[in-house]
Each structure stands twice: as C-alpha cells, then as structure tokens.
Amino acid sequence: MVGISIFSDFDAANPPGILTILSAVSSFLEENRVSVRSCVKTKEVLFLSFVVTAAILVSTTVHEFLHFAVARAMEIPAQFLNMTTVGIPSSNVDQYSAFHLLLMNGLAPLFSILALGGLGFLYSIRRSSQKHLHRYFIAWIALLNLPYLGLQMLLVASRARFNGTGNDFAAIAGYFGVPIETRAVLSVFGYVCFLSLLYPLRVVIRAPTNQSSEGPSAFKSSLKRILGVSLFGVSFGAVCVGNWMLVDDIPSGIFAIVFGGLMPAGLGFATLIPWATKWVKHISMNWILPGVLGSLFLLPLGIIDGNDYAIIWLIVVDIILGSTFFASISPTARPLFSES
C-alpha cells in the first residue's frame, strides 16, 4: 500500500500556494497511486486541508462561471462582481428579459446540486477497490454541493434580486411571484432538507474497516443528548424567527437564519458526536479537521474580497459534523477508504 508520499517534499512551515496545490493534486490524479489512509501527521492533515480548499474553490468557481456563461449566452453583460458573485448593476435589470434573468440565476444552482452534488455522491458511493486521493476530492465536491439544495431553500425568503447579487432560489421564487409567506415556509423546509441531506452523505465519509466495527454510540450521555437536542431547538427557532422577520420586511432576519440557524446546529452535532471513540478520532483527522482548516484558509480571501468565502466555513463545519454524527449512529456503513 502506498501512503501519501508527497509529504517527503512538503514543508509544513511554508504552506504552498493554491496553484502549487492544484498541480500537486493533478499530478496525483495522473499517478493514480495515492491512497487516503489513517493519517495522523500534521503535514498530512494540512495536505488534506488544501484538497478541501481546492474542492471549495472548484465548486464555487464552476457555479459562478455558469451564471456568467448563461448570462453572456443571452447577451446579458454579467461580470464577476467578486470571486463568488456574478451579475449586473441592479439599475440595469429592466433592460433585459425577465426569463433570461431567470435562466442566469437559476441554471447554476441546478447544475451545482444535480451535477456536482448528485453525480459526485453517486461516484463516491460506487463500490470500488480503488482508494485514491481524487476520490477524496470528489467526496468533498459531493459534501459541498448536495446539501446546497437545502441551503438555497433556507435562504429563499431573502429579497429577490434579479441582477444576480442575491440568493439564486429567492430570484427564482421572485420570478414566479411566490408570496413571501410561502417562501418563509419553504425556508423552514430548506432547513430540514439541509440537515436531512447530511444523512445520505454519511456514507461518503468513511473510517478504516477495522475501526468502523468498533460501533461508536452517540447517545451514551443523557446530558449531552439533552444539550444537543436543545441546540437544535434553538437552531430551528432562529430559522423560524428569521423568516418571520423577513415576512415583516426586516432584512436582518437573514442573519438570524444564517447565524442563529447554522451555528447552534453545528454545535448540536458536535455535542452528539462520540469524540472519544477511535473511529471518530480517525474521522476527525481525515475529514473534520481538513474541512475546518480547508474552509478557514479561504476566510482572509472572503474578508478582503467581501465574498462568500467569509462565511463558507460555517456551512462546511455543519456539513462535516452532521455527516460524522449520522455516520456515528450507523456504524455498519461500508468504508470507502479502507486500510489494506
């Protein structure tokens, strides 16, 4: 079995740039001989974190480029307004057909969810003896894009901006004239959908065979269970209150939904995960820590450029903790990356 041999050339004190990482990943794809195994070394975690960063960059850039390409195909002069937003000045919206603007807003999220999320998921769960790093990358593409359906629905009651700078589903709902009350209800469904989609994704993150048989139990402490369930109560309540605010035309309701909804949900999953088990320790080093670090690497870019990378870590943390929690309550899940 071949380990992650690139680390002999890897200086953890001087992390390489994004281009170096992408070229390293592509050379791995060509060599096709790297397996993701139980990695415990700091530099290995760091390397996996850069793979997660690359998966986030690819997911968002493909999505935004689709907004751009669809707009240009219909002669709407959309621009990259920042790294994660493509659109036109809102004052120019009246110059273009509403249907064309619908396509500009609507096709990219469908592609992200169905092609990147759906196909990435199907590829990741395919039975195969191969255990390569590109599978790790594609697993992250699935993790990032499948729950995006729930995330888009969660924000559907935000203001409909047809120029491309707002939530995509809100623009679609606005085009079809869906009343704000209905959109608020859809947003609550979106919250449930976002969390529910983490259940199938539990099979994408895997532990070595010999460790998954340990059978971790999430519910050993009733105190933790009460705390965890309470946090989800707070989270659900914040989503309802935030949508109530949006129905009352209070735009800050969106902050209640994003921060009040997603933060306690992540904490709730973290409370319910059986961290002390060897199985979860493995998942932590291979999936949770790279997910957290890989999304935090983009935080400075998000702050400087004023784009979605400033917030994406919160979503990634929820996704990976939720998938780990669901994996922990169904330990019979077949391992994707097993040690040979």
- Contact positions toward Zn ion, by CB under 5 A? 108, 168
The owner of tokens 């800050």 is: 252
Q: Which of residues 4 and 108 has its CB atom nearest to Zn ion in the complex?
A: 108
Nearer to Zn ion, 137 or 148 (CB): 148
Q: How far is the CB of 107 from Zn ion (least distance, A)?
A: 9
Distance CA 15, CA 3 (A): 20
- Cβ-based neighbours of 302, under 8 Å, separated by 6 or more: 308, 309, 310, 311, 312
Query: What's the DSSP call for residue 335?
Result: P
We find the least distance from the C-beta atom of residue 66 to Zn ion, in angstroms, to be 8
CB of 202 to Zn ion, least distance (A): 27
186 vs 292, beta carbon nearer Zn ion:
186
Instruction: State the Cα–Cα distance between residues 313 and 311, nearest whole angstrom.
Output: 6
Q: How far apart are CA 188 and CA 283, in angstroms?
A: 30
Closest residue to Zn ion using C-beta atoms: 168
- β-sheet bridge partners, residue 80: 86
What's the min distance (Å) between Cβ of 146 and Zn ion?
A: 16
What is the smallest separation between the CB atom of 109 and Zn ion, expressed in angstroms?
5
Considering the complex, state which of residue 87 and residue 264 has its C-beta at the smaller distance from Zn ion.
Answer: 87
Least Cα distance to 88 among 103, 74, 102, 71 occurs for 71
Per-residue CA distances from 66 to 7, 145, 157 (Å): 35, 15, 23
Nearer to Zn ion, 166 or 261 (CB): 166
Q: Compare residues 78 and 108 and give the one whose CB is closer to Zn ion.
A: 108
- Kindly give the residue spans of alpha helices, DSSP state H, lying in 74-178: 98-110, 120-125, 133-145, 148-154, 168-175
